[in-house]
Chains A and B, each alone.
Chain A
Amino acid sequence: GESVGLHLPTLSVQEGDNSIINCAYSNSASDYFIWYKQESGKGPQFIIDIRSNMDKRQGQRVTVLLNKTVKHLSLQIAATQPGDSAVYFCAETKNDYKLSFGAGTTVTVRA
């Protein structure tokens, strides 16, 4: 069945360093991917999205890379800040209305 998984459940990063969060997806028919950030006690916050006809998209301090050959998605955060500490989810869909989420990666930023 469809599933979206993250390579590592936790990531510890030094403040100021770059972070890379990885995600593997299994449904080759998926055509739209979103990264969300969820802080404790809050709902998921949209970070960046990418469609399957692209392999890279950049936002403010974030970059999403999509490798359809190996069904891999990554989120890069430049100059990680304490406010970046949260759980990060990748979500995928093949019809744009039902999002399938992985279990998430907890990012902890060390001062």
Chain B
Amino acid sequence: DAGVTQSPTHLIKTRGQQVTLRCSPISGHKSVSWYQQVLGQGPQFIFQYYEKEERGRGNFPDRFSARQFPNYSSELNVNALLLGDSALYLCASSLGSESKAFFGQGTRLTVV
């Protein structure tokens, strides 16, 4: 069975640009969450989507947005990129909105 898949695996962007990251959850999972992991730290919660609706949002600016599609895949968008947005962006899927989360391999975003 395929796990959580994220694309792309690596990305380099320039300050001020916009980026879209993609995530496909485990088959049958209806919830997708996004986390940001800065080097040397634990992941920080950004969003959770369940049944295509935003269920929770972490302490991130409005430059960060996300959505979930009818097939439960998800996109994370970040506008007006800053150097500090450089991080590993992780997607996690779970069966429901309240169950254990399984992570993808992440997208490594570098902003220069």
Contact = CB atoms under 8 A, between A and B. Distances in A.
Contact of B103 (A45, A98, A100, A102): A45
* Secondary structure type dominating chain A contacts: loop
Contacts of A98: 33, 45, 48, 56, 58
A66 to B, nearest CB: 15
A77 interface: no
Contact of A34 (B4, B45, B48, B100): B100
A95 interface: yes
Nearest to B88: A43
Contact of A101 (B43, B55, B97, B102): B43
A99 B45 contact: yes
Nearest to B103: A43
A43 B98 contact: no
Contacts of A36: 103
B43 A96 contact: no
A100 B48 CA distance: 13
B51 to A, nearest CB: 12
Contacts, number: 58
Contact of A44 (B43, B44, B98): B43
A32 B58 CA distance: 18
Q: Which of A42, A97, A98, A101 has the most CB of B within 10 A?
A: A97
Given A43-B103, A43-B105, A49-B100, A97 B31 contact: yes
A36 B106 CA distance: 15
A103 B90 contact: no
Interface string A77-106: 000000000000101000111111111100
B102 A46 contact: yes
Interface of A: 4, 34, 36, 41-46, 49, 89, 91, 95-104
Interface of B: 4, 31, 33, 35, 40-45, 48, 50, 55-56, 58, 90, 92, 97-106
